[in-house]
Structure 1
């Protein structure tokens, strides 16, 4: 591989690893907040116990999110010096403020983890809200830098490369910032909820003790409600993102749909793959007029095709596949959540708390599928911008390092990430085996019994 391709693979692997932990940090923190809130309102101790156990997961995940995020930040300078030369002058604000967002998340999590048993329920809600707020703010700030790469604003560049007329806040609030930040947040909340759905469904398949089943039943019902709401909002925000592409990155939208000729009443291509040589979609199904509706909410919206742009600026042909997989996973997950809630509603009307085994097995897969959806979404966002690092201003080749011998570093870091993934899995499994739910329920019931005995005397 050439240096540019190696740099892209190296950085992409690092980001793909880190994004899992960053996403779950937002999503699971929000689930902890909701669980604590329900506990505060209903005084159902099962929700307090859920929050306590989920917090241990977040603490373990944060232990890997910190070093992996640091590696990504360092690699920006080492692998993309041409890019950082412009970033340092125009959009350094989100990178600087993100440090404070991370500080808020880490501090609030420390308070919550080590002082939760000593804090009143209302204070615990506030503490875990600050954890979720810090994690979300961190993601939004980094998203600003990514959206600026897609829709650069807040500066001018002279022919000799000199940066002038810098407006950091205009760069921060670039044209695609609000829509993309919203999409990132709701998709992270969706993913965190589906991970809880996946674990709760798995535990319901395995649990035999009745009280354990009640806890997992409540966890599944709560997380299904959140996952359905966030899946629906993610789909709506995805529609807004497509319209943003129509206005600001028409090549990416055209590549995502394999559209070569500019036209009104443009069809939406589902499935298949793009053949750039023959300029057509192979084995895909076209839905008449729907791309025009997606782009402009009208059947007669004119959508630009790839033929309107120089061949060297076309995004990779696999952009269409990435887009299809991302959207397909999102629709499948929305269907899973809707089906789960429908079954829950029907069972509740009958006064039961029984989940069909086939449904639980489907829901077990929802967590991994949601994480795959996040990965494909980020790959689509970054690869679909190629050959640009900063759209219309700087190519990836211009931004990349000129250093040689990246291959060995790429292999070593990939092995490190695999090692960290194994370690996280082992630590997580070992912790929850040593602290099973049944043991914590027994401790809780003993505590209730002691309190009741004390009150009678």
Structure 2
């Protein structure tokens, strides 16, 4: 493999691993904050225990998110020196501000973890709120670099030189708000569904312990409710994202839908796979006119096809599958939430059948898969550009070599880190079962 493929593989692996912890680092604080708010309103000790236990998990996940994020930043400089030259001169603001966002998150996380029992109810909520604000701000600021890559603004490249630099125009590039919204909403969704998976598993294990079962049932219902709300909001934001692609990255939209010929009343292709030889999506279910409506809220909208662009500027055609998988996961998770809430609140069932809990256990893994597919789609769908229509990825990659060795080394490191996280979480919560917290709260 050449340096470009190896560099993309290495950085993609790093981001694929880091994004799990970064996403949960944003999603779990929301769950903690909601549990705190419910506890302060109802004085139901179950929610205070939820907040306490989820905070322990958050601390472990944050301990992995920080070094993997540092590795990602280092790899940006090592693997993509040409890209970082542009970022350093044009788009350094997000990195500079992110330091303060992380400081806020770490400071209030420390206060909440070590001093929660000595804080007033109002200050407990303030502490968790700022943990959430710091985590979300960090995610938004770093993701803004990705937004800038797709919709660059605030500079020009003239005769190979960077000119007319406006850092704030680059910061508030056209897709900033939509991309920021999507990353935060999807993180809130994922954090909730991870909690739902754990709660469903624990309900299966504690069916004969009514007190513990009720605790996990409350956690499951809370997680499904929050997850469902943010799944729906993520889907609505996804509609705006598609319209942004229509305006700013039309070949990416065409690749996502396997559309080859420019046309009005364009159909939306669901499923199937894109065949470049026959120039169609095979075995797809087509919804007439739906793509045109998705692009600009009109059925007669003219959507550009891939043939309107040079073939060497087409994105990889497998992004159609990634796009469908991402959307499919989102729709499935909304369905999970509806079923769970209806079962408990409408049908008034105290017990969830085992088969349904097994289904709910898949919510967390599916949400992580959806996040991964979404990031791969977003970054791969921009190819061959690292900065859309200004700078190609192949022009900015390092030529130092030895990337293959680094790829193997970091893959091993991530495998060890992942195993260590699972071990630490399992060890801690086995040593501190929820029964102990429930008995302490009752005494």
Determine if the TM-score, normalized by the shorter chain, exceeds 0.5.
Answer: yes
Q: 2:391 — aligned with what?
A: 394
**Equivalent-residue separation in structure 2 for 1:217 and 1:274 (angstroms):** 43
Q: 1:452 — aligned with what?
A: none
Q: 1:225 — aligned with what?
A: 225
Deviations 1:171-199 (A, max 9, x none): 01100111111011111000000011111
Deviations 1:52-74 (A, max 9, x none): 00000000001101100000000
The equivalences for 1:242-281 within 5 A come to: 242-281=242-281
- Whether 2:381 is the aligned partner of 1:384: answer yes
- Secondary structure of the residue that 1:115 maps to in structure 2? helix
- Whether 2:338 is the aligned partner of 1:322: answer no
Following superposition, the deviation at residue 407 of structure 1 comes to 0.4
Following superposition, the deviation at residue 275 of structure 1 comes to 1.2
The equivalences for 1:184-333 within 5 A come to: 184-207=183-206, 208-333=208-333
**Stretch deviating more after TM superposition (270-279 or 107-116):** 270-279
Deviations 1:251-304 (A, max 9, x none): 000000110110000011111111112211112121110100110111101000
**Stretch deviating more after TM superposition (244-253 or 163-172):** 163-172
**Equivalent-residue separation in structure 2 for 1:357 and 1:288 (angstroms):** 40
**Equivalent-residue separation in structure 1 for 2:388 and 2:263 (angstroms):** 24
Determine which of 409, 412, 417 is the counterpart of 1:412.
409
Q: 2:22 — aligned with what?
A: 22
Structure 1: gaps of 5 or more residues: 447-457
Q: 1:132 — aligned with what?
A: 132
- Whether 2:414 is the aligned partner of 1:425: answer no
Following superposition, the deviation at residue 16 of structure 1 comes to 0.5
**Equivalent-residue separation in structure 2 for 1:283 and 1:354 (angstroms):** 41
**Equivalent-residue separation in structure 2 for 1:344 and 1:171 (angstroms):** 48
Q: 1:454 — aligned with what?
A: none
Following superposition, the deviation at residue 342 of structure 1 comes to 1.0
Question: Which aligned runs of 4 or more in structure 1 are off by greater than 3 angstroms?
Answer: none
**Equivalent-residue separation in structure 1 for 2:122 and 2:48 (angstroms):** 12
- Let me know the Cα RMSD of the aligned residues: 0.8
**Equivalent-residue separation in structure 2 for 1:244 and 1:342 (angstroms):** 35
Following superposition, the deviation at residue 357 of structure 1 comes to 1.9
**Equivalent-residue separation in structure 2 for 1:376 and 1:65 (angstroms):** 19
Deviations 1:398-437 (A, max 9, x none): 1111111210110010000000000000000000000000
- Secondary structure of the residue that 2:274 maps to in structure 1? strand
Deviations 1:115-141 (A, max 9, x none): 011112221111011111100000000
Q: 2:120 — aligned with what?
A: 120
Following superposition, the deviation at residue 444 of structure 1 comes to 2.0
Q: 1:76 — aligned with what?
A: 76
Q: 2:39 — aligned with what?
A: 39
- Secondary structure of the residue that 2:31 maps to in structure 1? helix
Following superposition, the deviation at residue 338 of structure 1 comes to 1.0
The equivalences for 1:446-457 within 5 A come to: 446=443
**Stretch deviating more after TM superposition (435-444 or 26-35):** 435-444
Q: 1:439 — aligned with what?
A: 436
Q: 1:168 — aligned with what?
A: 167
Following superposition, the deviation at residue 346 of structure 1 comes to 2.4
- Secondary structure of the residue that 1:438 maps to in structure 2? helix
Asked if the contact 1:347/1:353 (under 8 Å) is kept, the reply is no
Aligned residues: 442
Q: 1:183 — aligned with what?
A: 182
- Secondary structure of the residue that 2:398 maps to in structure 1? coil
Deviations 1:136-168 (A, max 9, x none): 000000111110000000111112x21111111
- Secondary structure of the residue that 2:186 maps to in structure 1? helix
**Equivalent-residue separation in structure 1 for 2:38 and 2:439 (angstroms):** 22
- Whether 2:343 is the aligned partner of 1:346: answer no
Following superposition, the deviation at residue 358 of structure 1 comes to 1.8
Following superposition, the deviation at residue 353 of structure 1 comes to 2.1
**Equivalent-residue separation in structure 1 for 2:155 and 2:304 (angstroms):** 27
- Secondary structure of the residue that 1:389 maps to in structure 2? strand
Q: 1:50 — aligned with what?
A: 50
